[in-house]
Amino acid sequence: MDRFELTQTIEDAMDDKGLTYAKVAEEVGMSPVFVTAALLGQMALPEEAAKKAADVLGVPEAEKGLAKIPSRGSLGMDVPTDPLIYRLYEIVQVYGTTFKKLIEEEFGDGIMSAIDYDMDISRQPDPNGDRVRIVMSGKFLKFKKY
């Protein structure tokens, strides 16, 4: 089973069992962001966590695939077409240079790690309509000077 098929099988199992990503993460004992990324094929779960996830899902064949190192960032397209994912892409297109300049002013020449990285997604109540709050925190990695 390839990674796309595995993701479809996982999503079907979740639908059949009425599971949410948050519930699977709780059962696995790991971050909802990390477990969701793994279930969608963008991260590898540790072997024990992969077994727990496969058990919760009732998909024993998922264990090996969930522990396998993925080809990250593989959405199957250059520019995402899903409206929610596209809006995140659009934010980076519009504000990416702003992020870069402000990070460089604060930290110097380097990058924010997407490996040593945390993310939290939450609902922020607002009288004009609830807001999506995304908090990202990545280790700063300074470029080496030779």
| 72 is annotated as an active-site residue | no
Question: Which entry of 113, 131, 133, 137 is annotated as an active-site residue?
Answer: 113
Our answer to whether residue 90 is catalytic in this structure is: yes
Whether residue 113 lies in the annotated active site:
yes
Of the candidates 5, 47, 48, 87, the residue annotated as catalytic is 87
> Which of 48, 90, 131, 133 is an active site residue?
90
**DSSP output for 79-143:** S--SHHHHHHHHHHHHHHHHHHHHHHHHH-SEEEEEEEEEEEEEEE--TTS-EEEEEEEEEEEEP
Catalytically annotated residues: 87, 90, 113
